[in-house]
Amino acid sequence: MSRRRELCLDSLEQAAQALATSRAAVAFTGAGMSVESGIPDFRSAHGLWRTYPPDEYATMSAFSADPAKVWVMLRAMVGVLSAAEPNPGHQALAQLQRMGRLRRVITQNIDGLHRRAGSVDTIEVHGSTTGLHCPSCTLRDKRASIPTRGVPPCPRCGRAMKPPVVLFEEGLPPGAMGEAMRLADACDLMLVVGTSLAVYPVASLPDLAIRAGATIVEVNTEPGHLRREGAIELAGGAAQVLPLLIERALELAG
């Protein structure tokens, strides 16, 4: 049976019609968006947090207490990202934006794959692995590369540096959440792709969109995280579903 047949066609058609008539669509993505690029998500059976429990490896308290231990997780994460390429799901969202039918991508992902697929002005609400950042004196060195070993000292204050990825107990990049909330509040459709909606404040964005009257289309191998009246749930992998959805929406839009 073709991939299209396996998907619930009614839901796919309903979502495509909503996307075809949308005038202010945004996408909100999580780790599931990049699983088909070879990057494990966090909370599924083989997720990163199964190997590196976040309270030990991914909080600012853990980083202050033992930066070398947190760097073990950071290097493992960055190592996986370096081999990853954008998948057809990333490319489909970039195409939708190029066609003028998607305003922006808001992503929780730090892998940079939306940018590499061609999405423009992506909002990376949980930071990225570009450069190094000093949580102590806030120095940011965008050109610095990830060292292969050890904990890089800040050239200004001497304390431990890390990539500018947001750890638990750490604030979001300045302005990112405000911009994301503005987009959620102004959208008429939100594609919610590959996220368990487990982490606030960003997990509140779909509800903000719903309060603004937007249609929600959830793409997830295990949909239902939203459980909101009227949300259209598309069960399947982002790299499979998004190209089908966007191809159909562009057909309908003419």
x/- track of binding to ligand APR for residues 38-67 (CB under 6 A): ---xxxx--x--------------------
Q: Verify binding: residue 194, ligand APR, rule CB under 6 A.
A: yes
Catalytic-labelled residue, pool 90, 114, 126, 225: 126
Q: Parallel, antiparallel, or unpaired: how do β-strands 215-220 and 232-235 relate?
A: parallel
Beta-bridge mates of residue 106: 28, 123
Q: Verify binding: residue 199, ligand APR, rule CB under 6 A.
A: yes
Q: Verify binding: residue 243, ligand APR, rule CB under 6 A.
A: no
Applying CB under 6 A, the site for ligand APR has a residue count of: 24
Query: Per the structure block, which two tokens stand in for 138?
Result: 């806030």
Do the Cβ atoms of 202 and 208 come closer than 8 Å?
no
Sequential DSSP letters for 93-154: HHHHHHTT---EEEE---S-HHHHHT-SS-EETTB-SSSEE-TTT--EETTPPPPSSS-PBP
Q: Verify binding: residue 91, ligand APR, rule CB under 6 A.
A: no
Q: Verify binding: residue 195, ligand APR, rule CB under 6 A.
A: yes
Do the Cβ atoms of 208 and 184 come closer than 8 Å?
yes
CB of 220 to ligand APR, least distance (A): 4
Rounded-to-integer distance, Cα 56 and Cα 62, Å: 6
CB of 241 to ligand APR, least distance (A): 7
Rounded-to-integer distance, Cα 205 and Cα 248, Å: 26
Q: Decide whether 100 or 175 has the Cβ nearer to ligand APR.
A: 175
CB of 52 to ligand APR, least distance (A): 10
Told to judge if 90 belongs to the known catalytic residues of this protein, a careful annotator would answer no
By beta carbon distance, the residue nearest ligand APR is 32
Active-site residues, by number, are 126
